[in-house]
Amino acid sequence: MDESKLLPVPSHVIGPTWRRLKSGGWYLPEKTLGWQVINWMVKYLRQPNGPNAKEAFLPTLEQARFLLWWYAVDDRGRFAYRKGVFRRMKGAGKRSPRCRDELG
């Protein structure tokens, strides 16, 4: 991706998940297995409780972007990232993607 198409990065932003394009959209990886992971989650995972209990699990847009980047691959099909942290305050919706990793 040509850096000139991206907005400047605020000092508190680390990593590509929260990068935006000058056109207003989100900067997403060109090659990722994340779409397949999200489709699997929607098909097989259910909300455990709350008003949407037993309905299909739908990740937030932020969680989906994180998954797209986490499963990004290079031209040879190797994962682009080997380590990562998704850190948020308590109750900020960070648990669901981790649950997926714990299942598989």
Instruction: Count CB neighbours of 76 within 10 A.
Output: 5
Predicted pLDDT at 104 = 46
| pTM of the complete model | 0.78
| Torsion sign over Cα 70, 76, 77, 83 | negative
Q: Does residue 97 lie in a domain region?
A: yes
Q: Does residue 19 lie in a domain region?
A: no
Q: State how many domains the chain has.
A: 1
Query: What confidence tens digit (pLDDT) does each residue in 52-77 have?
Result: 899 999 999 999 999 999 999 999 99
Query: What confidence tens digit (pLDDT) does each residue in 4-42 have?
Result: 999 998 888 888 988 999 999 999 999 999 999 999 999
Instruction: Answer with the residue of higher pLDDT: 93 or 7.
Output: 7
Predicted pLDDT at 101 = 52
Considering only CA atoms, which of 25, 2, 29 is closest in space to residue 15? 29
Q: Does residue 9 lie in a domain region?
A: no
Domain encompassing residue 80? 30-103
Q: Does residue 16 lie in a domain region?
A: no
